[in-house]
DNA sequence: TCATAATATGACTGGTGTTCATTTAATGAC
DNA sequence: GTCATTAAATGAACACCAGTCATATTATGA
């Protein structure tokens, strides 16, 4: 028995498994973007991925898990966008401004992806263990990235220091998300109020930033 | 045939219908608070209300509609609380501070009610007509009340005027809601970050307010 | 070639929101 | 009180769907 051979096979299988997994996420994402996650059944996703329904459950614990996987991929996308924009030469506040703006830009360019994030059903969060599936506290998440920038800004004096960095990051992230939720999922409401979505996004961001900067 | 008699009967029926409706909402609310809306079936609600399942549909268009009705009642409660706190003698900014605080207090005293609001599934908002079921734009809604206070504050100079009152109200409401969502539905996440919920609420409120006040 | 393990299948289960033909109750004219 | 008519209530039936699992297919390496 050739051990190294077996190892390579195991690894190929691992790779293939990961590929299938991604293919399923692709299929699900596509349907999701077209019809909204609520209106897509596991059967449909399986068909789109040329698999049987049962097979999906070999790759994802549940429908919810599949949804989270989509969201995690989007979070990775956003993280990369943010990281590209980051300039270590600049002060914390300035970076915060820039990153915030590019997040908003992202939301304009990829509304579907933002929708995917925003549709994570909060009610499911009640079960603690589910949080682990959603990588918002991983080192490479946007939220953690924001935290680091705020910490820097507090050190260089450009951001107020009387709120802890984590709390401030969570607040800012949450604020921005809430407005994104409004303009992506509740646009009819926003329009009914006679409000322009882009303006709303920008105003909210300016407002949040004002609350955060050093005086 | 006595017309006035008939009229009074019609009206009694109307009243009774409203009573039944409220009784159903009561039953649903009770179950909802105990088990979470997602874990309550129409069958259970019917049983709790001593009715058959089909009867519920004579009073509510759908399960969703029933949920909205619960939420609308909560919104009314909040509106009343806010109105009680309002002092026309005081400046807009001061009222805003006070009302915000009492909203936060309310959320501490009636976490279940807040949960009910926060669990309105945003994804359903995509269908425009559904918005009508949710009375967040009615004259007696908290959001509209906030708008009026902001308008006053802009007139008396205590609140910055470079953002329209409606937009500012929507932003503030949305900000506050997002944090409430965090501490009511995503508490595990908040705790995992080592953050105290009450502190988070207060900090966020102070932060939002700072962004809103005149300089 | 063949035994074993890994992967895939789809019929089946249990549960649910919604509908609707049927039953029950209330009404008011006589 | 009786009875035709209208309103309200019922729950069996339907359609849909997430998740399971016994069975079938495929891959592996000896």
Within 8 A of B36 by CB-CB distance, chain A residues are 123, 126
pLDDT of residue B128: 46
Residues 52-71 of A with CB under 7 A from strand D: 53-54, 57, 62-64
Question: Could you report the per-residue pLDDT of B179-191, keeping only the tens digit for each?
Answer: 999 998 888 889 9
Residues B57-75 have a mean pLDDT of 94
Question: Could you report the per-residue pLDDT of B156-213, keeping only the tens digit for each?
Answer: 999 999 999 999 999 999 999 999 999 988 888 899 899 999 999 999 999 999 999 9
- pLDDT above 70 (res B59): yes
Inter-chain contact B171–A204, Cβ cutoff 8 Å?
yes
pLDDT of residue B152: 97
With a 7 Å cutoff on the CB, does A12 touch strand C?
Answer: no
Question: Could you report the per-residue pLDDT of A59-87, keeping only the tens digit for each?
Answer: 999 999 999 999 999 999 999 999 999 99
A62 neighbors A90 (Cβ within 8 angstroms)? no
Residues B137-163 have a mean pLDDT of 95
Inter-chain contact B137–A186, Cβ cutoff 8 Å?
no
What domains are there in chain B, each with its CATH number?
1-60 (1.10.10.60), 62-212 (1.10.357.10)
Within 8 A of B171 by CB-CB distance, chain A residues are 179, 200, 203-204, 207
Question: Could you report the per-residue pLDDT of B5-22, keeping only the tens digit for each?
Answer: 445 667 777 888 999 999
Q: What nucleotide is nearest A54 when CA is compared to C1'? A: C9
Determine which of A148, A188, A202 to mutate to test the interface with B (most B C-beta atoms within 10 Å).
A188
Q: What nucleotide is nearest A5 when CA is compared to C1'? A: D29
- pLDDT above 50 (res A1): no
CA separation for the pair A180, A185 (Å, rounded): 8
Residue B84 CA, nucleotide C19 C1', distance (Å): 45
Lowest mean pLDDT among A75-79, A188-192, B109-113: A188-192
Lowest mean pLDDT among A8-12, A75-79, A106-110: A8-12
pLDDT of residue B1: 41
**Closest chain A C-alpha to B97 CA, distance in angstroms:** 15
pTM score, two decimals? 0.90
- pLDDT above 50 (res B43): yes
């Amino acid at each position: 028995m050739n051990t190294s051979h077996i190892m390579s096979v195991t690894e190929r299988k691992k790779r293939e498994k990961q590929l299938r997994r991604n293919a399923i996420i692709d299929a699900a994402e596509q349907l999701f973007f077209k019809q909204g996650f609520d209106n897509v059944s596991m059967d449909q996703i399986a068909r789109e991925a040329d698999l049987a329904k049962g097979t999906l459950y070999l790759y994802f614990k549940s429908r919810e898990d599949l949804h989270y996987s989509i969201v995690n991929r989007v979070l990775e996308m956003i993280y990369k966008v943010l990281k590209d924009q980051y300039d270590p030469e600049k002060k914390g506040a300035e970076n915060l401004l820039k990153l915030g703006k590019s997040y908003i830009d992202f939301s304009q360019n990829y509304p579907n992806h933002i929708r995917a994030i925003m549709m994570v059903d909060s009610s499911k969060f009640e079960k603690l263990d589910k949080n682990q599936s959603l990588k918002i506290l991983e080192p490479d998440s946007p939220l953690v990235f924001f935290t680091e920038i705020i910490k820097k800004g507090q050190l260089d004096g450009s951001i107020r220091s009387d709120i802890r960095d984590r709390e401030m990051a969570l607040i800012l992230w949450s604020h921005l998300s809430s407005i994104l939720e409004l303009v992506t999922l509740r646009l009819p409401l926003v329009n009914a109020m006679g409000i322009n979505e882009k303006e709303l996004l920008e105003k909210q961001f300016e407002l949040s930033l004002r609350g955060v900067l050093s005086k």
